[in-house]
Structure 1
Amino acid sequence: MKNFKYILGLLIILGSFLQSCQDDDHDFGEVVAPSNLSLEATIVNADDDNPYGDGSGQVQFVASADNAINYKFAFGDNTSTNVSDGNVMHSFTSTGVNEYVVTVIATGTGGTASSMTTTVTVFSEFDDPETKSLLTGDDTKTWYVAAALPAHLGVGPVETVTPDYYAAAPFEKTGNPCFYDDMITFSLDANNNIVFNHDNNDATFFNVDFLSVGGGGGSEDQCLTFDTSGNKFVNLASAQSGLGEDVSTGTQMMISDGGFMSYYIGTSTYEILEITDDYLYVRGIPGSNPALAWYLKFTTDPDGGAGGGNQSAEGSELETEFENLVWEEEFDGAALDTDSWNIETGNGDNGWGNNESQYYTADNAVVSDGTLKINAIAENTNGFDYSSARITTMDKQEFEYGRVEVRAKLPSAAGTWPAIWMLGSNFAEVGWPNSGEIDIMEHVGNDLGEVLGTLHMPGNSGGEGISKGTEVENVESEFHTYTLEWTADHILFAVDNVVFHEFENNASTPFNQPFFLILNVAMGGNLGGTIDPNFTQDTMEVDYVKVFQ
């Protein structure tokens, strides 16, 4: 379709030019009011059959003036924005064909200004009552930064839709208290408009690129005194990012008068990636760098998603939600059941990405006397000093949610690194850590008796995994049961039915898809550490693997 352009300016001047007669200001140099103000409006995808647009409600505005340093647009729909280049796309959201009086104010040095007003008529068919209801609770709802959740603040390239560059760990920004004490309230007024109120307790957490907005400076994000008081309005519109419905609701919110969501990145527009009754996940493109996307998570829990003051399950006996046995491996045969298990061989890429020192073979996984033995042996194998085994259920036995139990006895020699763990079934397509990783049990002989439960995902890869440990007596001489209890809401790690690590799961993590199991014993590597020079052989012995749903 061809666009209709509403050319305004010298042809249509309904505003007035305000000329300054001030003396020169030594702080600003010569004080000159903007002149020759013009405004061009383009209704997106308008044509002869659709003179008011395609229903998106979008209008592209371009203002220009001599000697202007800023342009403020008031769109006549309770929203406004400031831009330095005079170029802005705005979405009008009242359904149907509506007329709006739009004003642009061009500001020059010393605060001098010129203005222009015009009228545009636009068609919008966008409506999202569900999001409006979830934001406001059909009356008033208060949201808090989801400090207890991983990646509650993150950044990544705009095209990946994940915070690949950085994702904050739970409560990582505690040293910046102005961030976690924010309260954002959405409510409905008498006309069913969404009203936005941001209580920042007088200070805001500023991105380093915008410190000057808050009167600060330096090379790191900072808390700065900043006034966010007063009610603003929120318009909901169709998001223009083109993200698929699998990663976005397709709705964006536009906050009037420079409003923003807790972390200042120079934008008032946020795409809503996900929203539920108590969880809000948004994405904003900063005004300074459109190649980046910042991610923010919010919750209705004043404790930041830590459970609203409910007692943690950690340290308590596991109360399972799953009783239906859907798969088990008792290792009762004379060999590994290849209908359920794959045997991986080799040393992978750079020691499976961890600088490990073993070479995996089929011979090191032995089934006998009702158990599986994964033997790590000091022997020259294909150029490596150690042999071991690694088996998986990829493409054969995969599970989404449930309780996974593995009863095992662990090796104890220094340098051994046994693991009972899981990877997302999309691992081959998206790679790690995008697939997610759940380490039900990790142990290293160099720290005998400490068992770890760990989660990895974008922003929490490598040594940044979300991990906790617990001390287990006689890990090498007695069988213990290592358990994962996994739902859409939480992930629990337990040893002998006692929970030692709890993670609040949510729909933004990769832990909401089928995963497959992996059993292995590595040698050395990033976590295994120094191998005992006198090492000869050690074993992880597995009695059974059971999955309940």
Structure 2
Amino acid sequence: MKNTLKNLTGFLMLLLFATGCQDDDSTFGNVTTPSNLDLSYEIVGANQANPNGDGSGMVVLKAHADNAMTYKFIYPDATSDTKPAGLMNKRFTTNGVNSYVVTVVAYGTGGSAVTGTITVVDLLSLFDDPETTRILTNNGTKTWYWSAAEQNHLGVGPNDAADTEHNFWPYWYGAGPFEKAGGTSSCMYNAKFTFSLDGNQIRFTQDNGGATFFNKAFASIAGGNGSEDICLAYNTTGQKTVLLSPAESVVAPEHSTGTQMTFTDGGFMGYYIGASTYEILEISENRMVVRAVQGNDPATAWYHIFTTQDPNAPTAPVFTNLVWADEFNTDGAPDATKWSFELGGGGWGNQEQQVYTNQNATVSDGTLKITAKKENDGTYTSSRLITHNKKDFTYGMVEIKAKLPSGAGTWPALWMLGSNYVENPWPGCGEIDIMESVGRAPDVISSTLHYPGHSGGGGDSTSKNVAGISTDFHIYTLVWTVDSLKFYVRDNETDPLPAPYKIFTNPGTPFTSNFFLIFNVAMGGTLGGAIDPGFTQSAMEVDYVRLYQ
């Protein structure tokens, strides 16, 4: 049980005044104004060693008045909660030690009321998530939409602490791409969710186009009969405040960001399930997965996936905002904040001959150099760099300026793998080969998609002849949208983007979820083929990699 310390100074700060009718109104019966309003609070986790609490920012607010029917707690950010019993568990999330003035209104019969204030003094909150704040709001204003083209953009599963295999994803049901575009759910994809940064507060507005998609259990709120999930006219105007706090769910830490967001005054996102708190399972610059427990059913959790691309937009998005890059301008090891090494040998599923080390990749003279070498004992070493858990993303334009190694047996690749490859092994996780080449076929590049039913040699693939890929730098470009994956190559930045040499229609799952970058040079294997006995070493050089969204 958490220790609590009752702050008696709160009583000294109590200010009371009464409001109500001058005369009894027979319409309401006898009007009895509350009296003797007592306010107090307890800081959760406070003791002699930790007088400011346990860092959770949690406070138990208590209110009692004679003849009171209900109590309204009003906080400094103008948000509020109403509690008939006068007991409120409140989390304040401003980082550090802060004090908060809380106004309490005790309501009696006939609209009578008495009001008081109490100051919560020196409360410690250690929670701060500036990265989630930045991504939600773009440190200004940012609009999100339903990721209608993505499988499971609306889904449901169990909320069971014991069911660790199924309590973090829509195990029971997941909506297919644009499944809710017609019928009783036709309003759903019209919703726009805008987050704005106002000082240190996150504000939220929802434009539902006049109608909201209701879970049938809550349809009566908007005049429905509760027989089915349905779009109903509903007013969502008005600004809400978004409070970020530590996640409090049954989901294991490895499946969540650890942050939840709570919308004040009954705010919600999109599908009305009687919930205002959403745990953020995943978030990137243009994709967010959230989880919320149904308001009237604690055994049920709903999942929503949002994107920054309007599903009703008439044209394909134009990616011009540079959100991540590595220009490779600092000599030494690759930037550890952006890249991780994958190490070892064993063939890597393709009978490859090299062992990956952290010694074969270095940055010098403005380029990343990944060097495949033949060691003195006849074995081969190379390096493999990934951005997993440092830059994972969905959709955008990736540009990579690179010069490839040479020699029969070399197999350089600039590619991407689905971020959920652990729980959804290849090819289920998906693979996007932006550029692959093999030394035995000079001046030929290929681009390929691998996914279920299209793995190995059955991948959706194309090849293109490009002169001088091992002697000159070329810019390899992927433009990835909800509709398509387009591949380009050009000689330099001054050239306009040419027509794509291949356009793949986006097949949907898994190419609607997060991927990460991989740069490597393999040796031999099923695609690299026989290695030239005279091979000693050769490097792939990367001038830069840039991601636009």
Fold in common (TM above 0.5): yes
| Other structure's SS at 2:135 match | helix
**Deviation string, structure 1 residues 87-125 (Cα, Å, up to 9, x no partner):** 543221112211111233455676555544322121112
Shift of 1:143: 0.2
Aligned partner of 2:256 in structure 1 is 248
Aligned partner of 1:145 in structure 2 is 146
Normalised TM-score (structure 2) = 0.55
Matches within 5 A, 1:65-464: 71-83=71-83, 86-107=86-107, 113-121=113-121, 122-158=123-159, 159=161, 160-175=167-182, 176-189=185-198, 191-241=199-249, 243-303=251-311, 308=316, 327=349, 438=428
Whether the 8 Å CA contact 1:10–1:36 is kept in 2: the answer is no
- Residue type of the alignment partner of 2:507: E
**Deviation string, structure 1 residues 473-514 (Cα, Å, up to 9, x no partner):** xxxxxxx963368x9x89999xxx9967712537979x99xx
Taking structure 1 as reference, are residues 267 and 110 closer, same or farther at Cα in structure 2, changes over 3 Å only? farther
Aligned partner of 2:394 in structure 1 is none
Tell me how far apart the structure 2 counterparts of residues 506 and 439 of structure 1 sit (CA, whole Å). Answer: 8
Aligned partner of 2:508 in structure 1 is 503
- Residue type of the alignment partner of 1:23: S
Aligned partner of 1:351 in structure 2 is none
Whether the 8 Å CA contact 1:301–1:308 is kept in 2: the answer is no
Shift of 1:41: 3.0
| Other structure's SS at 1:211 match | helix
Aligned partner of 2:26 in structure 1 is 23
Whether the 8 Å CA contact 1:306–1:504 is kept in 2: the answer is no
- Residue type of the alignment partner of 2:189: Y
Shift of 1:221: 2.0
Aligned partner of 1:483 in structure 2 is 459
Shift of 1:165: 2.9
Tell me how far apart the structure 2 counterparts of residues 287 and 83 of structure 1 sit (CA, whole Å). Answer: 17
Tell me how far apart the structure 1 counterparts of residues 528 and 60 of structure 2 sit (CA, whole Å). Answer: 56
Shift of 1:244: 3.4
Quote the sequence identity (%).
42
Shift of 1:187: 1.5
Aligned partner of 1:533 in structure 2 is none
Taking structure 1 as reference, are residues 85 and 282 closer, same or farther at Cα in structure 2, changes over 3 Å only? farther
Whether the 8 Å CA contact 1:303–1:309 is kept in 2: the answer is no
Whether the 8 Å CA contact 1:490–1:505 is kept in 2: the answer is no
**Deviation string, structure 1 residues 416-446 (Cα, Å, up to 9, x no partner):** xxxxxxxx997xxx8xxx8898499xxxxxx
Please give the root-mean-square deviation of Cα atoms over the aligned residues, in Å: 4.9
**Deviation string, structure 1 residues 206-231 (Cα, Å, up to 9, x no partner):** 22222233233322222222222222
| Other structure's SS at 1:502 match | coil
Aligned partner of 1:348 in structure 2 is none
| Other structure's SS at 2:458 match | strand
Tell me how far apart the structure 1 counterparts of residues 255 and 52 of structure 2 sit (CA, whole Å). Answer: 30
Tell me how far apart the structure 1 counterparts of residues 314 and 154 of structure 2 sit (CA, whole Å). Answer: 16
Tell me how far apart the structure 2 counterparts of residues 153 and 110 of structure 1 sit (CA, whole Å). Answer: 44
- Residue type of the alignment partner of 1:483: G
| Other structure's SS at 1:135 match | helix
Taking structure 1 as reference, are residues 141 and 250 closer, same or farther at Cα in structure 2, changes over 3 Å only? same
Whether the 8 Å CA contact 1:490–1:504 is kept in 2: the answer is no
Tell me how far apart the structure 1 counterparts of residues 528 and 66 of structure 2 sit (CA, whole Å). Answer: 71
Taking structure 1 as reference, are residues 157 and 242 closer, same or farther at Cα in structure 2, changes over 3 Å only? closer
How many residue pairs are counted as aligned between the two chains? 373
Q: Which stretches in structure 1 are left out of the alignment for 5+ residues?
A: 311-324, 330-400, 405-423, 441-452, 457-466, 470-479, 513-544
